[in-house]
Structure 1
Amino acid sequence: MAGVRRNKSYRLTGIYDRRSLEVPFNAEVAEVEVDNPLALDAGEKIVVVRSVRGDPLGRLHAHHQIDEAQYCGGRAFQSDWERAERGPQAVDPTREYVDGTRSREPVTEDQRQAVLRLNRVERELGTDGAALVHDVLVLGLTMDQIGERRAVRTQRWNDYFARRFRECLDRLALIYGFATEGRAQRAKQR
Structure 2
Amino acid sequence: MPAPSKKLKLRPVLVENPFHSRAHLADTTNPRDVVAMMNVRESAITTMAARGVLDAAQVAAATRFRALWEAMGGKGAGAIDYGREHVDGGKARDPITEREVNAGKELARCRALLGVRMYGLVSAVCGEGFALTELLASKRERLTAADMLRMGLDDLAAMWRLATRR
Identify the TM-score tier after normalising by the shorter chain: 0.7 to 0.9
Q: Distance in 2 between matches of 1:54 and 1:33?
A: 17
Partner of 2:143: 159
Q: Secondary structure at the residue paired with 2:116? A: helix
Partner of 2:82: none
Q: Secondary structure at the residue paired with 2:115? A: helix
Partner of 1:8: none
1:116-171 per-residue CA deviation (whole Å, 9 max, x = no partner) reads 10000011111110110111112222222211xxxxx3221111011101111111
Give percent identity, aligned residues only: 29
Partner of 1:35: 16
Q: TM-score, normalised by structure 1?
A: 0.67
CA contact (8 A) 1:76 1:176 kept: no
- Which structure exhibits the higher relative contact order, with contacts defined as CA atoms closer than 8 Å and separated by 6 or more residues? 2
Aligned: 1:178 with 2:162: yes
Would the alpha carbon gap of residues 87 and 126 (structure 1) be closer, same or farther in structure 2, given more than 3 Å must change? closer
Q: Distance in 1 between matches of 2:93 and 2:50?
A: 41
Q: How does 1:18-57 map to 2 (within 5 A)?
A: 24=4, 26=6, 27-41=8-22, 44-57=32-45
1:46-93 per-residue CA deviation (whole Å, 9 max, x = no partner) reads 1111112231111122222111111111110011111122679xxxxx
Runs of 4 or more above 4 Å deviation:
99-102
Partner of 2:81: none
Of 89, 109, 125, the match for 1:120 = 109
1:98-127 per-residue CA deviation (whole Å, 9 max, x = no partner) reads 179973415332222111100000111111
Of 39, 49, 68, the match for 2:56 = 68
CA contact (8 A) 2:77 2:96 kept: no
Q: Secondary structure at the residue paired with 1:179? A: coil
Q: How does 1:142-153 map to 2 (within 5 A)?
A: 142-147=131-136, 153=137
CA contact (8 A) 2:69 2:103 kept: yes
CA contact (8 A) 1:32 1:62 kept: no
Which consecutive residues of structure 1, in runs of 5 or more, have no partner in the other structure?
1-22, 89-96, 148-152
CA RMSD of aligned residues (A): 2.7
CA contact (8 A) 2:57 2:162 kept: yes
Q: Which amino acid aligns with 1:173?
A: A
Would the alpha carbon gap of residues 146 and 36 (structure 1) be closer, same or farther in structure 2, given more than 3 Å must change? same
1:155-188 per-residue CA deviation (whole Å, 9 max, x = no partner) reads 21111011101111111211222117xx3xx3xx
The size of the alignment, in residue pairs, is: 147
